[in-house]
Structure 1
Amino acid sequence: MGAPSGRQEVMGMTTNDLTKPTPAAEGTTEPVVQLKGVGKLYGNVRALEGIDLDVRPGQVTCVLGDNGAGKSTLIKIISGLHQHDEGEYVVDGKPVRLHNPREALNLGIATVYQDLATVPLMPVWRNFFLGSELTRGPWPIRRLDIERMKETTQTELSAMGIHLDNLEQPIGTLSGGQRQSVAIARAVYFGARVLILDEPTAALGVKQSGVVLKYIAAARERGLGVIFITHNPHHAYMVGDHFSVLRLGALELNAARDDVSLEELTNHMAGGTELAALKHELAQVRGVDVEELPEVVNSPST
């Protein structure tokens, strides 16, 4: 698939740029992807129940949750790896049932996993076109069009504000943030309309996390709908337009940015309801001064 037209260079972004609202974030466009009451069962184990999610162009939808909350199952359903058992999965207003990731890619839904699906010893440009190499010449003696792949890689990375000194260097020598940004640019080039990012900042330091957040904001500016999977509310709040917090397979919170503060979001991630109950129980225990414990913030429900 060819690259989408109308690219806009995004360079020199600051922290303030990350939180800048976009027209799409104001709810002026229809969702590309919708989940309506989606549930998933693995035998007698209910992994997801009643999940509602809207992903709009030019908007970052943050899905947060602790380990075991259901984030991985949600990714697998949206990316076509697993099928949902309940509810509706809607793309462009039409219910779909995806059978594999290729069907999701054909609909413009791309997933960037934590392992990035790269070959560390291969050059950056080879990884950019990995599995979709450009060729030239007549069949059956077609050969790789190396120059065109290098030029395209350089152009696409620059359009996302990514500047590498040497495309011949093994991608394994790049920092974690740089590898994530290359994977994002690759997905954009190959026609992604919805980009799912699986914990892209989980194993990164502060500086490299900032690099990734910058390119998430750049993808939003390019008009993509981004699903940012994370367990870090601070990272989510820097770039997010809408927040969905999962707990034990159900929605704990489903709120727009204007309706929730960072403190409230953090409280939901920390299990505010459970902490409030625990604080009440501790009040019955002799020797525990609950007045010295931090207050639990009352925040909006789903």
Structure 2
Amino acid sequence: MRPAELAAIRAGEVDVAFRRWEQPRVRVGTQMRTAVGLVEITSVDRVPVSSLTGADARRAGAASLAALRQGLDRLHPERPVYRIGLRYAGTDPRHTLREAVPDTAEIDAIIAGLDRLDRAAPTGPWTRATLLLIDELPAIRAPDLAQRMGRDTPSFKQNVRKLKERGLTESLDIGYRLSPRGAAVLDHEGHPRTTRDRPAPEPGTPLPHLGAAATRALTTHGVVRLEQVAMLSEGEVRALHGVGPYALRHLRAALDAAGLAYRAEPDASPPAAS
């Protein structure tokens, strides 16, 4: 699902999706982990295209019934159409897990799990090297990290997902970063970490997930916190290449939640003389 679709599901504005499949690919009750949290499948029904209505289009977030039908006919028009009921089921439990610094007993269990992953890997131990690399190079593209480890990108990403399942890493719009839980594990084992000598990160509220293009556009201009966004006008942010409607909507929501606002737009012209 696209980022805008996920955001609309979380907001309750979209509660169905339509897909052309040979047979259902999801089951009722399944909770999918997405960039906005958990999305639950509430129903899966095969429906004739002729039965679709304007209400269906609105519930799916389509611009119109015609747009919905055109989208379904774009790929594999010979396949049947399924209507999938959706609902936002809450935050991803891994978000809470990665912020929870484990005690000694938990750390021992985490280490035992990492050791099992290392023993099972045909290419040899990888867990600590991956954690240390992400700690050293946060917010770096996965292909670049994979190359540094001598791995192909798909297998590297698969390994990082295993660490994320344990709450040890966090995915960013670009790359990853080590979680407090992951840092506690490395510190417990006494691994040398270059980040210990880094200056503390700039205080403030981190940017929300905006998509890689928008995040790159902002960080290139030195904007990494919401407080820095509030020093710009909305027009200035909109003018950055890569910042589109999805990013603007999420920035606005994040600013509102933090009690911040864009800087007022400069006057387009001086007031007329009296």
Q: The TM-score by the shorter chain falls in which range?
A: under 0.3
Q: Indicate the structure with greater helix content.
A: 2
Larger radius of gyration: 2
Q: TM-score, normalised by structure 2?
A: 0.28
Structure with greater strand percent: 1
